[in-house]
Amino acid sequence: MSESPEPDNSAPVRAGALSGTPYLQALNEEQRVAVEALDGPVLVLAGAGTGKTRVLITRLAHILATGRAFPGQILAVTFTNKAAREMFERVEGLVGASAQGLWLGTFHAICARILRRHAELVGLKPSFTILDTDDQIRLAKQVLEAANIDEKKWPARALVTVIQRWKDKGLAPAKVPASAASEFANGRALELYGQYQERLRTLNAADFGDLLLHSLTLFTRNPEVLADYQRRFKYILVDEYQDSNVAQYLWLRLLAQGGGNICCVGDDDQSIYGWRGAEVGNILRFEKDFAGARIVRLERNYRSTPHILAAASGLIAHNEGRLGKTLWTEGEDGDKVVVGGVWDGAEEARMVADEIEALQRQGCRLDDMAILVRAGAQTREFEERFILLGIPYRVIGGLRFYERHEIRDAVAYLRVLAQPDDDLAFERIVNVPRRGIGKASLQTIYRLARAEGIALTTAAGRLVETDEIAPRARGSLSRLLDDFDRWRAQAQTMTPSALAKGVLDESGYTGMWRNGKSADAPGRLDNLKEFVAALEDFETVGEFLEHVSLVMDHDRAAGGDLVNVMTLHSGKGLEFDTVFLPGWEEGLFPHTRALDQSGHAGLEEERRLAYVGITRARKRVRISFAANRRLFNQWVSAIPSRFIDELPPDHVEHMTSPGLYTGRGAGRQGGPDAGLSEMGMAFANLRSRARPGPAIDADARRFEAAKRRGAGIVGVGDRVFHQKFGYGRILAVDLNKLEIIFEKAGIKKVIDSFVKPA
């Protein structure tokens, strides 16, 4: 699918433009073109590793340095907070303090900022609450309940998805075309959407999709407001344009109609978020959407070796409907991409762990290695192997900090205090910890609230004056409401952090976890401490709540030399020397559900995911597939992924586990041993080579035992705590390896340094 390199896609670079702008000299020619093409719409097609972020940053700096605009006249949007933060820091490095005035942030954060100013125009109060997914589902549940729809048949989560898809397309309830009526609840989805929106409005709340949708409504209904922002934003920059959805596209188009100086950067080959509303079509249609658009291609890759780049390019060439890029690079060919078949998932984990140790012995940092899996569940086998061998690792992704149960509860307390009308927050914590305010009492509160059109707290306040609620519940409820009042009074004088600490202690919330003896209780208490500490950075609770709903992410990437384990999706945007890509089997990758759900488009997105995975690597790519995998409870045999066949043979070498002859990719090109490179041999040999066993040596044994005693662990029978597996008792000891029966996780072998005495 690749086209020949663009012979001439750019105006000649004017030498004069370089004077007084030293930062431009650090760029290659195409990058410089992308930076200097300031007028009119520009699409920068930036292949993986071609210096996309550098271009964006330099462009920003260039606009400022040449005095074309003030910081406050530049809008720069990203999709993630991490990207926004990085961009801000790097721009600040170039231009210093003037970075402060930029409109730089995620689509959602910028929309929220705009909406707070004009909330009344879309029927909200400026103090509106931003709901998270959890709240959305609870709200949807209430809507379904009120509409008498069986939640078994039509789950609330599915309704939220339907509504979200409409919002992604920029469709308010009134705009949803009849033809778009979804299957959901026999075509009642639209009606439910309307009710959901109505509920949101009475709660003075907006979900994430609303931030964009309301902004769109604001602009289309109030031309003078739109005109104001159009005048304001002389330059618009958009990162990761391939991830934008229709609503975001419409939003950008409205704003760009002012001056038209919009620059979108992206890579159609890295569009992997179609399943959550992103439209590859946006980037494919850019030239049509923005008249007179100029396209600049960044094709010189600074990251990967030629073999890796060629393998990735060959694979992605199987996709249709690409804009087409020809990535090239200079330098040593390096290792070919190694593809290996193994018997099962455990062997795969063993092989990967062995190579990690081998690389480490050669002086490679663990931090420079990553395992990128298709699905979160795949990390388990690697974790268990790493724990057994004592290889330090970190799993990136999973639950974000603010998504954790205990953090949500803590936030809900603050929400109730800051926003007495926040029914969802009230509902969440009214009986947490247990106060004996159960379903019956809640029903009563609901009834009154609905009948009078008042908030739950208000209704509760009235009900404690009557005897409509059982005495016990009435007492607790009354005490809780008094607490609320007291805390609200304290909020006037205390710092948010001190307030939160007080609230969590006095409400009994901290105590609930301290008294509970579940394996994860200590971790939750730690998180609560972290939560209180995080609040120290804020002046007001309101400020913190905005931050928590829009900005707060959990950067676990920090700290230490650890192997990185994550999904392919969360690997996007990162790079590592060595990348392991396990689980390349039909069904898992490409994932069956992606194919079932989206057919050919789904397959292409999976292929892009594979492309993203390979292009994360600087030096080494190790792809593997297992002939057998345990899925749920049963063993299923799998065939190698079609993507393995699609890799260009010249840049790949195959190795196969001895005695494993099944699978279509295995050994096909030249057999297991033919033409293996040094690394390939290492990969092949490592897994069969006996690991250097621990010397059975009295000194070593004594040494390990002494070390454990130092740590407070004596031996068999001791009760210990493990970060991941919880509490357990030591069954057996072999040097530094302990066999432990955990209360929850069963019997595991772990390295002693991973446990502490309980």
Partner DNA sequence: ACTGCGCCAGTTTTT
Partner DNA sequence: CTGGCGCAGT
Between 132 and 575, CB nearer to DNA: 132
| 649-688 footprint of DNA as x/- string (CB under 7 A) | ----------------------------------------
Q: Is 148 in the site for DNA (CB under 7 A)?
A: no
135, 207, 240, 604: which one is catalytic? 240
- What values do phi and psi take at 426, rounded to 5? -55, -50
21, 53, 360, 490: which one is catalytic? 53
Between 135 and 421, CB nearer to DNA: 135
303, 524, 616, 629: which one is catalytic? 616
Interface pick for DNA out of 26, 440, 489, 674 (rule CB under 7 A): 440
Between 243 and 355, CB nearer to DNA: 243
The token duo for 615 is: 């292009």
SS3 labels along 523-555: HHHHHHHHHHHHHHHCCCHHHHHHHHHHCCCCC
Q: Is 423 a catalytic residue?
A: no
Q: Is 444 a catalytic residue?
A: no
Residue 57 corresponds to which amino acid?
I
Torsion over CA: 182, 187, 190, 196 (sign): negative
Q: Is 227 in the site for DNA (CB under 7 A)?
A: no
Interface pick for DNA out of 117, 175, 221, 400 (rule CB under 7 A): 400
Between 29 and 553, CB nearer to DNA: 553
Q: Is 494 in the site for DNA (CB under 7 A)?
A: no
The token duo for 200 is: 């949101």
Residues 409-438 that bind DNA (CB under 7 A): 431, 434-438
Between 152 and 361, CB nearer to DNA: 152
Helical ranges in 100-202 per DSSP H: 107-118, 133-146, 156-168, 184-187, 189-202
Q: Is 81 in the site for DNA (CB under 7 A)?
A: yes
The token duo for 688 is: 């069969």
Q: Is 153 in the site for DNA (CB under 7 A)?
A: no
Task: Provide the minimum distance between the beta carbon of 602 and DNA in the complex, in angstroms, as a whole number.
Answer: 8
Output 426-431 pairs: Cβ under 8 A, ≥24 positions apart.
426/455, 426/456, 426/457, 426/460, 427/138, 427/456, 429/507, 429/509, 430/456, 430/460, 430/477, 430/480
Interface pick for DNA out of 228, 543, 553, 555 (rule CB under 7 A): 553
# of chain residues touching DNA (CB under 7 A): 48
Q: Is 197 a catalytic residue?
A: no
Task: Provide the minimum distance between the beta carbon of 702 and DNA in the complex, in angstroms, as a whole number.
Answer: 36
Characterize 546-558 residue by residue with b for buried, 16 or more Cβ atoms within 10 angstroms of its Cβ, and e for exposed: bbbbbbbebeeee
Q: Is 457 in the site for DNA (CB under 7 A)?
A: no
Q: Is 276 in the site for DNA (CB under 7 A)?
A: yes
Residue 20 CB coordination number (10 Å): 9
Cα separations (Å) of 454 from 422, 442, 447, 480, 483?
11, 14, 10, 19, 20
The token duo for 699 is: 């000194």
Residue 275 CB coordination number (10 Å): 14
Interface pick for DNA out of 80, 98, 662, 669 (rule CB under 7 A): 80
Between 466 and 753, CB nearer to DNA: 466
User: Among 189-197, 279-287, 565-573, 722-730, which window interacts with DNA (CB under 7 A)?
Assistant: 565-573
Q: Is 691 a catalytic residue?
A: no
Between 355 and 604, CB nearer to DNA: 604
Between 478 and 570, CB nearer to DNA: 570
Task: Provide the minimum distance between the beta carbon of 219 and DNA in the complex, in angstroms, as a whole number.
Answer: 19
Between 30 and 606, CB nearer to DNA: 606
The token duo for 738 is: 């302990």
Query: 740 has which bridge partners?
Result: 730, 748
Question: What is the Cα–Cα distance from 297 to 52, expressed in whole angstroms?
Answer: 10
> CB neighbours of 235 closer than 8 A, spacing ≥ 6?
38, 63, 68, 69, 73, 74, 75, 259, 261, 262, 263
User: Among 63-71, 78-86, 302-310, 363-371, which window interacts with DNA (CB under 7 A)?
Assistant: 78-86
Q: Is 195 in the site for DNA (CB under 7 A)?
A: no
Task: Provide the minimum distance between the beta carbon of 209 and DNA in the complex, in angstroms, as a whole number.
Answer: 7
Residue 284 corresponds to which amino acid?
L
Task: Provide the minimum distance between the beta carbon of 400 and DNA in the complex, in angstroms, as a whole number.
Answer: 6
Task: Provide the minimum distance between the beta carbon of 394 and DNA in the complex, in angstroms, as a whole number.
Answer: 14
Q: Is 569 in the site for DNA (CB under 7 A)?
A: yes
The token duo for 100 is: 């402060």
Q: Is 441 in the site for DNA (CB under 7 A)?
A: yes
Helix (H, G, I), strand (E, B) or coil at 22: helix
- Answer whether the bond into residue 433 is a cis peptide, omega within 30°: yes
Task: Provide the minimum distance between the beta carbon of 276 and DNA in the complex, in angstroms, as a whole number.
Answer: 5
Q: Is 594 in the site for DNA (CB under 7 A)?
A: yes
Interface pick for DNA out of 86, 151, 577, 743 (rule CB under 7 A): 151
Q: Is 109 in the site for DNA (CB under 7 A)?
A: yes
Between 609 and 660, CB nearer to DNA: 609
| 685-724 footprint of DNA as x/- string (CB under 7 A) | ----------------------------------------
Q: Is 470 in the site for DNA (CB under 7 A)?
A: yes
Task: Provide the minimum distance between the beta carbon of 157 and DNA in the complex, in angstroms, as a whole number.
Answer: 9
To the nearest 10°, the Cα dihedral for 540, 543, 549, 552? -90
- What values do phi and psi take at 550, rounded to 5? -110, -35
168, 207, 210, 239: which one is catalytic? 239
- Answer whether the bond into residue 590 is a cis peptide, omega within 30°: yes
Characterize 127-147 residue by residue with b for buried, 16 or more Cβ atoms within 10 angstroms of its Cβ, and e for exposed: ebbbbbeebbbbbbbbbbeee
Interface pick for DNA out of 48, 74, 77, 79 (rule CB under 7 A): 79
Question: What is the Cα–Cα distance from 94 to 72, expressed in whole angstroms?
Answer: 17
Task: Provide the minimum distance between the beta carbon of 16 and DNA in the complex, in angstroms, as a whole number.
Answer: 40
Interface pick for DNA out of 208, 241, 487, 625 (rule CB under 7 A): 208
Q: Is 215 in the site for DNA (CB under 7 A)?
A: no
Q: CB of 524 within 8 A of CB of 512?
A: no
Task: Provide the minimum distance between the beta carbon of 425 and DNA in the complex, in angstroms, as a whole number.
Answer: 17
Q: Exposed, middle or buried by CB within 10 Å (0-12, 13-18, 19+), for 363? A: exposed
Interface pick for DNA out of 58, 73, 106, 270 (rule CB under 7 A): 106
The token duo for 147 is: 């509409």
Q: How many CA atoms lie within 13 A of 579 on its CB side?
A: 28
User: Among 4-12, 104-112, 356-364, 453-461, which window interacts with DNA (CB under 7 A)?
Assistant: 104-112
SS3 labels along 674-720: CCCCHHHHHHHHHHHCCCCCCCCCHHHHHHHHHHHHHCCCCCCCCEE
Helix (H, G, I), strand (E, B) or coil at 394: strand
* Catalytic (active-site) positions: 52-53, 239-240, 270, 616
Residues that bind DNA (CB under 7 A): 79-82, 106, 108-109, 132-133, 141, 151-152, 208-209, 275-276, 374-377, 397, 400, 431, 434-441, 470, 472-473, 550, 553, 566-567, 569-570, 591, 593-594, 597, 632-633, 744, 746
